[in-house]
Amino acid sequence: MSVGIHAFGGYVPRLRLQRRVIAEANAWFNPGLKGLGKGERSIANWDEDAVTMAVEAARDALGSSERDGIGGVYLASTSLPFLDRQNAGIVAEALHLGHCLHTLDIAGSQRAGTSALLTALQTVAGDGGPILVVAAEKRRTKTASSLELTTGDGAAALLIGQGDGIARLLGYASETADFVDHYRGQDQAFDYVWEERWIRDEGYLKIVPAAVVRALEAAAVDPGAIDHFCFPSPARRVAATLASKLGIPDASVRDNLQGTCGEAGAAHPLLMLVHALEEARPGDKLLVTGFGQGCDAVVVEVCRHRPAASPSAGIGGHLARGRAEHNYQRYLAINDLVTIERGLRAEVDKQTGLTTLYRNRDMLLGFVGGRCRACGTLQYPKSNVCAKPDCDAVDGQDDHPFSEMTATLNSYTADRLTYCPDPPAYYGMVQFDDGGRAMMDLADIDPGTKLHVGQPMRMMFRIKDYDTTRGFRRYFWKATPATHGGTQGAE
């Protein structure tokens, strides 16, 4: 039975912090950072995390297609917001995947992304339903560290199912070794990293080849036949060195996206794979590796009669939508890397009633409203009485999701009195094109942006509030401008 990738997508946050400003701000302490001060790195906004980015990557992969047949969601990350609440379950709720499915969080290693992919491939090969594999990362890094410049935030999603699909699995292999190149201990906020040259010589150059050779043998593929080699490491020239050592063509080594995104941890192997699938031609063979206490290696081949399905934006589309960020202090503040006076209004208790959250989870996480069976009127939130004045039907509404509906802006306000981690707080009335309206927070409003009534808006899954006292965060949907003009590249 063949197993393949049937859909793929990705997400990279719009904000791109220019590495030059990081290096200049910290050169007084560590002048060596100037050597890493080229290009830009993606940074998630204050209301984004691994869960919200995973939802966006999955939406990019699945589009508005029917989602009832998906049998599981595997979420990989080392920066999951909850240690004892299933994060993949939140993703499933937001995507309206139903409740008859298997959800799983996979963490604990930088190769969690490829481990999730291998687990899904094995599950589907054993007659499991289609599995949605999502990897997302928003890692916190020490100020003035090299990781602060080389790290980036992002997510990728792959739908694994029976049959060839877009790209079929040829072979895979795993090599496990307790090689501690870096680690993050319990209750520690940041990774501890060992010496780079030792990681390269003892880790990359010895452990990776062992997995790759066995994967190529399992796939019955000659190293010289590889068209795209995805090796997710910010270390310079290591991928080319590995390719030369393994007999893989130098031209097949993929751009590791270090100049425009940064290295997205456990998500980066899948992020690079999605980017490669966007550009690969029928018949191309792709090799992707994930490194962390060993190595996973996966070989796939783009099908010669691949379906026309493609992501809504993909990694390439999201990279092109970037907006340069030069405010280093803002980056530190929204990532809680500096103690900032947030004012009395920030001290309001944000405790979430878990009973209320559960009873209204479809409305809050799934953004589900109602459609009147009598007249077809849409409304959010759903209620017992139709909102249309000349209908007034009682107890006659069916569930209707609003998350994928297009909308326009009816009104808006920029408020600097209410507390917001990134002031001002924008909110307004959103009118959905097919009917229904809702008062919503607005997100991703660029400084100096002139909003206007009738502006197209798109719904995005975001963090609504943080309860820092209890370590809880509340999710909801926000409206963002549907399109952003211009393309911002690295400096």
Is residue 302 domain-resident?
yes
CATH number of the domain at 464, please.
2.40.50
Whether residue 488 is predicted with pLDDT greater than 60 in this model: the reply is no
Number of other residues whose CB lies within 10 A of the CB of residue 259:
14
Asked whether residue 50 is assigned to any structural domain, the reply reads yes
Q: Read off the pLDDT band of 217 (50, 70, 90).
A: very high
Residue 345 lies in a domain: no
DSSP 70-96: --EEEEE-SS-S-SSS-HHHHHHHHTT
> Tell me: the pLDDT tens digits for 286-336?
999 999 999 999 999 999 877 766 788 999 999 999 999 999 999 999 999
More confident residue, 129 or 491: 129
* Residue 242 near residue 189 (C-beta atoms within 8 A): no
- pLDDT reported for residue 235: 84
pLDDT > 60? residue 40 = yes
Domain check: are 193 and 154 in the same one?
yes
Q: Judge whether 376 lies within some domain.
A: no
49 and 111 assigned to the same domain: yes
User: Are the CB atoms for 363 and 356 separated by under 8 Å?
Assistant: no
The token pair that represents 18 in the structure block: 């220019």
Residues 252 and 321 in one domain: yes
- Average per-residue pLDDT for the chain: 93
Asked if 408 and 329 sit in the same domain, the reply is no
Shared-domain flag, residues 115 and 256: yes
Does residue 302 sit in the same domain as residue 433?
Answer: no
- For residues 328 and 358, membership in a common domain is answered with no
CATH code assigned at 90: 3.40.47.10
How far lies 166's CA from each of 91, 160, 163, in Å?
24, 10, 9
* Each residue's pLDDT tens digit, 230-261: 999 988 899 999 999 999 999 999 999 999 99
Mean local confidence (pLDDT), 159-185: 95
φ, ψ for residue 64 (rounded to 5)?
-100, 20
Q: Is the pLDDT of residue 447 over 50?
A: yes
> pTM for the complete prediction?
0.95
Q: Is the pLDDT of residue 490 over 60?
A: no
Query: Rounded mean pLDDT of 469-490?
Result: 76
pLDDT digits (tens, 9 = 90+) for 59-107: 999 987 768 889 999 999 999 999 999 999 999 999 999 999 999 999 9
d(CA 304, CA 263): 31
Inform me whether the pLDDT recorded for 384 exceeds 80.
yes
**Per-residue confidence (pLDDT) for residue 129, from 0 to 100:** 83
pLDDT of 189 over the 80 cut:
yes
Residues 286 and 356 in one domain: no
**pLDDT computed for residue 67 by the predictor:** 81
Domain enclosing residue 438, as ranges: 351-367+402-481
* pLDDT score recorded for residue 305: 79
Judge whether 416 and 410 are in contact, CB under 8 Å: no
Looking at the structure, tell me whether residues 184 and 311 fall in a common domain.
Answer: yes
Whether residue 234 has a cis bond before it, omega within 30° of 0: no
Do the Cβ atoms of 159 and 311 come closer than 8 Å? no
How many domains is the chain built from? 2
| Within-domain flag for 62 | yes
Q: How far apart are CA 196 and CA 179, in angstroms?
A: 13
**Is residue 378 situated within a structural domain?**
no
437, pLDDT greater than 70: yes
Q: Are residues 25 and 161 in the same domain?
A: yes
Angle at 281 between CA 277 and CA 286, to 5 degrees: 50
Angle between helix 205-219 and 238-246 (nearest 10): 50
Whose CA is closest to 410, among 434, 385, 428? 428
Averaged pLDDT, 381-389: 93
- pLDDT given at position 449: 84
Counting residues of the chain whose pLDDT is more than 90, the rounded percentage is: 90
Domain termination site, one of 334, 359, 393: 334
Both tokens assigned to 358:
């559960």
Pick from 92, 60, 61, 96: nearest CA to 75: 92
Query: Would residue 467 count as lying in a domain?
Result: yes
Average pLDDT over residues 441-445: 96
Q: Does residue 389 form part of some domain?
A: no
Residue 41 bridge partners (DSSP): 17
pLDDT band at 345 (very low <50, low <70, confident <90, very high): confident
Tell me, yes or no, whether 422 and 273 share the same domain. Answer: no
One domain, residues 169 and 250: yes
Q: Write the DSSP string, 162-174.
A: ES--SEEEEEEEE
